[in-house]
């Protein structure tokens, strides 16, 4: 949910919600495969497959999703859409969806915002508070040399590196994301998480307990829907830990 928190906390939250739900990941693979079915020549597909394997999605499901994207198998006519608004406590919320029925999904997202004391806004109303960046997470262990990691990232074109409680987060321009990932791997570091994501440039901290609880309910409600691929907020609190 929020961009903060430990690796273990984020992984536990993701596993609990999505371990048995491969629909979201299959749709991402299908969309990516429209640009070509060979992950060696399609970076978006390569990373989509890596994320699917990260939740133990079976190879046969991955293959079928690719074939739907390339047209070898019949598939859904999917539409990519983003919704923007404010959640309780003035937190900016962006909802990315892949849907075969835009009217159904729009109605669902609006209802979720209304139901949990949020306000669905117009395109652009909160996205200016985010930057799209490559985010690469390396778990902090005794074997990880921070200076060597920074050197490998800088040589490949990383923009910044942040040291957190249990990890290092490397930020890149989207165009440099794949090159930095490969350079870090080549230098002997294991990547715990990686994606091109929205990173907030302005954060919000809800103070009322009721607002925090309503915000968590809003995000959970959205993420439980098959059409919703990702929910991004600029909340400065670790919502995964608060929801545990």
For residue 43, give its domain range: 7-70
* pLDDT for residue 2: 47
150 domain residue, yes or no: no
Q: Which of 99, 126, 94 is nearest to 197 (CA)?
A: 94
Reported as a single tens digit per residue, the pLDDT across 140-191 is: 999 999 999 999 999 999 999 999 888 999 999 999 999 999 999 999 999 9
Asked if residue 165 is part of any domain, the answer here is: no
Q: Is residue 52 part of a domain?
A: yes
Q: At residue 13, does pLDDT exceed 90?
A: no
Residue 219, domain member (yes or no): no
Whether the CB-CB separation of 87 and 114 falls below 8 Å is answered with: no
pLDDT tens digit string along 218-234? 999 999 998 999 999 99
The per-residue pLDDT for range 105-153, each reduced to its tens digit, is 999 999 999 999 999 999 999 999 999 999 999 999 999 999 999 999 9
pLDDT at 33: 95
If you write DSSP's letter for every residue of 99-125 in order, what string do you get?
ES-HHHHHHHHHHHHHHTT-EE--TTT
Count: domains in the chain: 1
């Amino acid at each position: 949910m929020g961009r903060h928190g430990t690796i273990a906390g984020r992984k536990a939250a993701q596993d609990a919600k999505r371990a048995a739900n491969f629909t979201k990941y299959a749709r991402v693979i299908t969309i990516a495969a429209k640009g070509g079915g060979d992950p060696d020549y399609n970076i978006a597909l390569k990373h989509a497959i890596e994320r699917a394997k990260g939740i133990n999605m079976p190879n046969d499901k991955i293959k079928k999703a690719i074939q739907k994207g390339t047209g070898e198998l019949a598939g859904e006519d999917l539409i990519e859409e983003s919704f923007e608004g404010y959640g309780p406590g003035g937190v900016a919320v962006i909802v990315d969806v892949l849907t075969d029925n835009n009217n159904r999904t729009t109605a669902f997202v609006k209802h979720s915002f209304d139901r949990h004391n949020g306000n669905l806004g117009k395109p652009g109303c909160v996205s200016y508070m985010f930057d799209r960046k490559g985010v690469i997470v390396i778990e902090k262990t005794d074997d990880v040399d921070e200076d060597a990691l920074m050197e490998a990232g800088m040589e490949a074109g990383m923009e910044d590196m942040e040291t957190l409680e249990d990890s290092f987060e490397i930020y890149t321009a989207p165009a440099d994301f794949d090159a930095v990932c490969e350079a870090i791997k080549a230098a002997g570091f294991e990547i715990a998480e990686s994606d091109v994501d929205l990173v907030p440039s302005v954060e919000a901290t809800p103070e009322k307990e009721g607002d925090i609880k309503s915000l968590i309910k809003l995000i959970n409600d959205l993420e439980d829907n098959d059409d919703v691929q990702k929910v991004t907020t600029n909340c400065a609190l670790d919502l995964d830990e608060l929801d545990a």
